Amino acid sequence: MKVLALDYGSARTGVAVSDPSGVIARPLTIVERVGTKQGTERLLALVAEEQPAQIVVGMPLTMRGERGEQARETEAFAERLREVVTVPVELYDERLTTVLAGRTPSQTPEDARAAAHLLESYLTWLNRRDG
């Protein structure tokens, strides 16, 4: 199952995608200001292009597992996204993905690398759950 992952941010949202079998995650791009009309259109174009079976949005919980302001904003974004796409949208704990992305040297934007780390974690969890 192909999955698209989003590391949501009001300024920049990292995007990653898996291979069709749902095993390998790769950073794709970033979407600037995804909450604007232009940003939403760009994201919807990526969804149409990639044709994922599911979208996973990183949930920025605190280290104690609590929901702060950024988590509430992310939940609202996921709700808006569910209204404009036809595939399931799931929230998944993204703690430490930005830290991992910062430690992964690459020419790819950090937000896209964070989305790829989120997706790797999600795919591992999904495969363990289903396997």
Segment 62-98, tens digit of pLDDT = 667 677 788 999 999 999 999 999 999 999 987 655 5
What's the residue count for the chain? 131
* Per-domain boundaries in the chain: 3-130
> Which CATH architecture best describes the domain 3-130?
2-Layer Sandwich (3.30)
The mean pLDDT of the chain is 88
Helix, strand, coil percent values for the chain (each to nearest 5): 45, 25, 35
